[in-house]
């Protein structure tokens, strides 16, 4: 592995590999860490211990934002102790500003939590963050007590939140991001009245709502999924508890994909076999494409010793593994169609454009539609230089292609710090 450091920029060039036999450990779940930090912060009494939280740029943003609103947290080894501040946050004598940098999860989840703060809260972020819409969430919160003032462009960060979370019925457009719904869900136990959430629009990433509800319930909140599809949440608050963050299937997907593109075997540990994470679906997809998948305890092994076949896949429910699937599809014998890609344009980068760029490095041809991409494997040389545009998932999916094709240099590779700071070290320690 070649590393070229200059001015803080990390360039990575990986060798082409065949017949691998690799072993990795999945990092803690980013989504689980965000949610556990918030639930523990809103618990009224006692100290919660969160075991093995993910320490990444994104989760650090959430931790810092909660602390600015009055929550106290301390690290002890691999654990973090959270002294719950209860449902009425008080982080100082005046308005609080939270810089979410490039963490969309932080900004969206803390938008509703900000209504629990005694003073107005301003949320801002990077230039790219200021291009990502928040309007549907703000519109929903206005109906239950929130007030929003936009600093630049209407419906986008930066914005200032004030008001009181009253509770009651609220409708949310779930067609852009499930995080809009998760945001209201996580603050709802602290509302003055119970909250009933009705979803409209094409719902995306339902598994993340299930994960949100699971973390909330582990911290004592009452969440009910009604028969009509609505979500009902008691306003009885949270309670302090000890919570272990499970391994991250999204991050593990890149390791599994390496077995698929290189052939051979990859085993990943620290994975909950009964996890609610939707990105477990990566294993089923790889199985359909021609890999074998086996599990023993918290270890999962993916093997391939034959050809890969392309598939037709609806993936609006699992957007975070679309790029990983696309990387594998470049090495199949037949085309792959991925549907449900429209929302990728609203992520850390335009991930539809990123899919096309990474696939070109593999020598594949990509047809881009309004809500789909079709990947045609080709035997052209591929290779080249890939700039992930500061997007962690683009960089890690490019690593998969680099190991299958060779002659690919990934620039700005330090962007993996957002979700998986140890990714390149894990490859190096595996002998790559």
Which positions are annotated as active-site residues? 320
* 117 secondary structure, DSSP code: B
Determine contact, residues 104/57, Cβ cutoff 8 Å.
Answer: no
Alpha-carbon gap, residue 229 to 222, rounded angstroms: 16
* 26 secondary structure, DSSP code: P
- The distance from CA 234 to its chain's CA centroid, rounded to whole angstroms, is 27
Q: What is the helix (H) or strand (E) element at residue 41, kind and residue range? A: helix 30-41
Alpha-carbon gap, residue 34 to 273, rounded angstroms: 21
Other residues' Cβ atoms within 10 Å of the Cβ of residue 45: 10
* 279 secondary structure, DSSP code: G
Tokens at 353, concatenated? 């454009």
Determine contact, residues 322/344, Cβ cutoff 8 Å.
Answer: yes
Alpha-carbon gap, residue 161 to 113, rounded angstroms: 10
Determine contact, residues 248/226, Cβ cutoff 8 Å.
Answer: no
* 203 secondary structure, DSSP code: -
Long-range contact set of residues 360-367: C-beta below 8 Å, sequence gap at least 24? 360/384, 361/386, 361/398, 361/401, 361/402, 361/405, 361/408, 362/327, 362/330, 362/331, 362/401, 362/404, 362/405, 363/330, 363/405, 364/329, 364/330, 366/326
Distances (CA, A) of 119 to 122, 149, 190, 349: 10, 14, 16, 32
- Asked whether the bond before 158 is cis by omega within 30 degrees of 0, the reply is yes
Q: In sequence order, what are the beta bridge partners of 81?
A: 49, 74
Alpha-carbon gap, residue 11 to 222, rounded angstroms: 47
């Amino acid at each position: 592995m070649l590393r070229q450091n200059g001015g803080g920029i990390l360039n990575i060039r990986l060798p082409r590999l065949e017949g691998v036999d690799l072993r990795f450990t999945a990092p803690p779940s980013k989504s689980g860490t965000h949610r556990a930090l918030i639930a523990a912060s809103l618990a009224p009494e006692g100290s919660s211990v969160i075991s093995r939280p993910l320490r990444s740029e994104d989760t650090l943003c959430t931790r810092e934002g909660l602390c600015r609103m009055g929550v106290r947290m301390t690290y002890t080894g691999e654990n973090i102790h959270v002294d719950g501040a209860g449902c009425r946050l008080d982080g100082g004598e005046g308005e609080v500003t939270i810089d979410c940098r490039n963490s969309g999860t932080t900004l969206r989840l803390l938008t509703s939590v900000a209504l629990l703060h005694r003073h107005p809260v301003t949320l801002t972020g990077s230039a790219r963050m200021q291009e990502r819409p928040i309007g549907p969430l703000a519109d929903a919160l206005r109906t239950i007590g929130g007030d929003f003032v936009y600093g630049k462009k209407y419906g986008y960060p930066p914005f200032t939140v004030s008001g009181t979370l009253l509770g009651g019925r609220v409708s949310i457009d779930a067609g852009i991001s499930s995080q809009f719904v998760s945001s209201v869900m996580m603050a709802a136990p602290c509302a003055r009245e119970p909250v009933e959430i009705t979803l409209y629009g094409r719902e995306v990433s339902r598994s993340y709502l299930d994960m949100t509800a699971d973390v909330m319930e582990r911290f004592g909140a009452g969440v009910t999924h009604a028969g009509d599809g609505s979500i009902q949440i008691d306003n009885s608050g949270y309670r302090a508890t000890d919570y272990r963050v499970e391994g991250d299937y999204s991050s593990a997907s890149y390791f599994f994909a390496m077995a698929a593109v290189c052939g051979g075997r990859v085993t990943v540990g620290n994975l909950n076999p009964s996890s609610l994470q939707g990105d477990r679906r990566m294993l089923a997809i790889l199985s359909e494409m021609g890999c074998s998948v086996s599990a023993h305890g918290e270890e999962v092994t993916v093997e391939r010793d034959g050809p890969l076949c392309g598939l037709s896949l609806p993936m609006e429910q699992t957007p975070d593994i679309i790029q990983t699937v696309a990387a594998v599809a470049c090495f199949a014998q037949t085309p792959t169609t991925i549907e449900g890609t429209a929302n990728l344009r609203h992520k850390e980068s335009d991930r539809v454009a990123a899919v096309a760029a990474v696939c070109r490095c593999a020598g594949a041809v990509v047809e881009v539609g309004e809500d789909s991409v079709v990947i045609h494997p080709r035997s052209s040389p591929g290779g080249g230089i890939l700039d992930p545009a500061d997007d962690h998932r683009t960089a890690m999916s490019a690593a998969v292609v680099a190991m299958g094709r060779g002659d690919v240099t990934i620039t700005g590779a330090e962007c993996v710090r957002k979700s998986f700071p140890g990714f390149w070290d894990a490859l190096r320690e595996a002998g790559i």
